[in-house]
Structures are given as structure tokens and as C-alpha cells.
């Protein structure tokens, strides 16, 4: 059975705040560690009231410091927002503090709106240099050589696994060229998933970092004690997508009983397309959905996310998903 991992957006729910979101994040990471999830990733977003993981490296340090074995990382750091040297220093620091446990996933989107992207980048307004920035960042993790004018301290010579993230063919192609592991954002942008996977696997070039292609796919998994309750919990994610598309991102909303009354027909089509990679239901339903997803796409790892309003229900969802993994492993 392939490994399961967790993607957490550090959700800030209606009626709560960032401090509670961080407590929930650490609690979920500790649960994931006990349940045998391989890694716990946090994602960089900005100017989004419902997502508290803007200072991603800081939050990774908090989670890594509060756990002991689970890998902790970024899914991802939006590289156009940062100087490669600063990213190398930050993750060199994390890997020095928590050796063998830190992952660095890189994306080329801003992770925010245009005005905020401009505020973040200040003097840089394009992601066109992403391939060159990735190469520069990788070089900072290599052992320093005599005469090297700029080095990452810490960072140089430290083993930090670097992944590329994407929702299109661009990062799939670059991952293959550089011989890096690849994570596809199928949990919210699945349209190019099959083509991206095929390109990555076909064109992969072995590197010192990775000898064989390794692809991780994002999957929404919302599990509960009944199919009906899981579908109700999933309305939180559906509402969040609609609110974002309406230009009104806010705190994560509670679930509702009738999602049909919330969205328009075009919005429904948009949400169902964006969240097509979703397994929603009780344990047996989730098991069938995950089995089918793995059989069709053959990922090397699943990155599971669950945007559930109530923290106890989100914990329970990941408990059910882990139990499903264990059942599949026993049956395999």
C-alpha cells in the first residue's frame, strides 16, 4: 500500500482565530504521526482570512518541534515570492534543527491575488524565472566549494528533499528534467492530472536526488460515520470555493444542510470540476473511492486534505482514512 500524507491549510474557522488554528494544526500533526501518516505539509497562502499558514517556514518549525517522527514540510513555498537564498537558509535552518524530517515543495504561483503578490514581491512581478530560481536554490544546498562568494548558512551541504508542485504540464516537465519528485494539485485543479503524470513519468531523467520518478497526488478525503454526514461536512469546502470565486474569501464556514440553495448552476459546475478528485463518505465508501483513485492513476503517494469546519470531525476524518489505508494494506 502506498503512503498517505496530510496537507493542512491551517484553517481559521468562523468564530475562531489564528492562534486556535495553530493549536489545531499541531494537534492534527501529532494525530497524523500516531496514525502513521508519512508527512505533514503546510501551504503558503497570503491575504486569505481563512488560511493561517502565510509564514509557512515558521509554522513548519512549530509543527516539527511538537512532533518527533513525521516528516514536516511545505506544499509549498511559492518561490516567486522569495529570494532562493532566503528559502535555502530557512529550510537549511529547519533541517539542522530537525534532521531527516524536513521537505521543501516549491510552487511557481503567487498563492494570492495580484495586489498582494505585488506587495510580496516588491521589485519582482513575474514567475518566468522559476526554472532558474529552482536551479539556484538547489545549488545552495550543495556543499560549498572554495572561492564560492555566496553560500547558504545553514543550508550548504544539508540534505533537504526538494519537490516541485504544479497543476499544469509546466512543473511536470521541469520535475522530469531535473530529476525531482513531483506533487500534483489534483485536490483543487485536476484537469491536467493525467497528462502531467504521463509527461513526468515518460520524460523523467534520473538525478543525484532521485533515481526513479516519484509522483504524489492531492486528494480530498472527507470521512464520517455515514455518507450523509460526510457529504454535509464537505459543504464547508464547497462554500469556501464559491466564496473565493465570488471574490469574498473569508473565514472557513460551517457546513450547511442544503448546498443546492447556496450555489448557482454555473458555480456548481465550477466547484464539481475543481473538486472532482474527492472521496466523500463513510469508511466503506472512502475505501472504494481511494482504491479506484489509486488503481486509475497509480500515484506513489497520496496527499490527503480535509477542509472540515469542526476540529474533532476533521480528526475523525483522518482517523477513518488511516483505518482505510490499514485495511487496504492488510488486503494487499
For 21-76, the pLDDT digits (tens) are: 999 999 999 999 999 999 999 999 999 999 999 999 999 999 999 999 999 999 99
Q: What pLDDT score does 127 carry?
A: 66
Question: 320 with 286: CB under 8 angstroms?
Answer: yes
Q: How far apart are CA 255 and CA 44, in angstroms?
A: 25
Q: What stretch of H or E contains 303? A: strand 301-305
What average pLDDT does the structure give for the chain? Answer: 95
Question: 34 with 330: CB under 8 angstroms?
Answer: no
For 104-158, the pLDDT digits (tens) are: 999 987 656 777 777 776 555 566 789 999 999 999 999 999 999 999 999 999 9
| 314-317: long-range contacts, CB 8 A cutoff, minimum separation 24 | 314/24, 314/28, 315/27, 315/28, 315/31, 316/223, 316/224, 316/225, 317/221, 317/222, 317/223, 317/224, 317/230, 317/233
Exposed/middle/buried for residue 18 (C-beta within 10 Å: 0-12, 13-18, 19+):
middle
What is the arithmetic mean of pLDDT over 177-189? 97
182 SS3 class: strand
For 3-17, the pLDDT digits (tens) are: 999 999 999 999 999
36 SS3 class: coil
Q: Which of 313, 238, 309, 316 is nearest to 11 (CA)?
A: 309
End-to-end CA, the chain: 7
What pTM does this model have?
A: 0.95
Q: What pLDDT score does 274 carry?
A: 96
Amino acid at each position: 500500500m502506498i503512503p498517505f500524507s496530510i496537507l493542512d491549510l491551517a484553517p481559521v474557522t468562523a468564530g475562531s482565530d489564528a492562534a486556535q488554528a495553530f493549536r489545531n494544526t499541531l494537534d492534527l500533526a501529532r494525530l497524523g504521526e500516531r496514525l502513521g501518516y508519512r508527512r505533514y505539509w503546510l501551504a503558503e497562502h497570503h491575504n486569505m482570512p481563512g488560511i493561517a499558514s502565510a509564514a509557512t517556514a515558521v509554522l513548519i518549525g512549530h509543527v516539527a518541534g511538537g512532533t518527533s517522527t513525521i516528516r514536516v514540510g511545505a506544499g509549498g513555498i511559492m518561490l516567486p515570492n522569495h529570494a532562493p537564498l532566503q528559502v535555502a537558509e530557512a529550510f537549511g535552518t529547519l533541517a539542522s534543527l530537525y534532521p531527516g524530517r524536513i521537505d521543501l515543495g516549491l510552487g511557481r504561483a503567487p498563492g494570492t491575488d495580484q495586489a498582494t503578490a505585488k506587495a510580496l514581491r516588491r521589485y519582482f512581478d513575474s514567475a518566468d524565472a522559476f526554472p532558474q530560481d529552482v536551479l539556484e536554490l538547489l545549488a545552495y544546498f550543495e556543499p560549498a566549494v572554495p572561492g564560492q562568494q555566496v553560500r547558504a548558512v545553514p543550508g550548504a551541504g544539508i540534505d533537504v528533499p526538494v519537490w516541485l508542485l504544479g497543476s499544469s504540464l509546466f512543473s511536470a516537465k521541469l520535475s522530469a528534467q531535473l530529476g525531482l519528485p513531483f506533487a500534483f494539485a489534483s485536490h483543487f485543479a485536476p484537469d491536467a492530472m493525467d497528462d502531467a503524470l504521463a509527461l513526468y513519468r515518460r520524460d523523467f531523467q534520473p538525478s543525484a536526488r532521485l533515481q526513479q520518478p516519484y509522483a504524489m497526488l492531492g486528494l480530498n478525503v472527507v470521512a464520517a460515520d455515514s455518507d450523509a454526514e460526510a457529504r454535509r461536512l464537505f459543504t464547508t469546502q464547497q462554500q469556501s470555493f464559491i466564496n473565493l470565486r465570488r471574490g469574498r474569501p473569508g473565514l472557513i464556514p460551517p457546513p450547511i444542510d442544503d448546498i443546492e440553495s447556496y450555489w448557482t448552476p454555473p458555480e456548481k459546475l465550477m466547484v464539481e470540476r475543481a473538486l472532482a478528485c474527492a472521496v466523500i463518505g463513510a469508511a466503506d465508501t472512502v475505501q472504494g473511492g481511494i482504491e479506484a483513485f489509486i488503481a486509475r492513476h497509480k500515484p506513489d503517494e497520496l496527499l490527503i486534505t480535509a477542509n472540515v469546519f469542526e476540529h474533532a470531525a476533521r480528526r475523525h476524518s483522518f482517523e477513518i482514512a488511516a483505518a482505510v489505508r490499514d485495511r487496504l494494506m492488510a488486503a494487499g
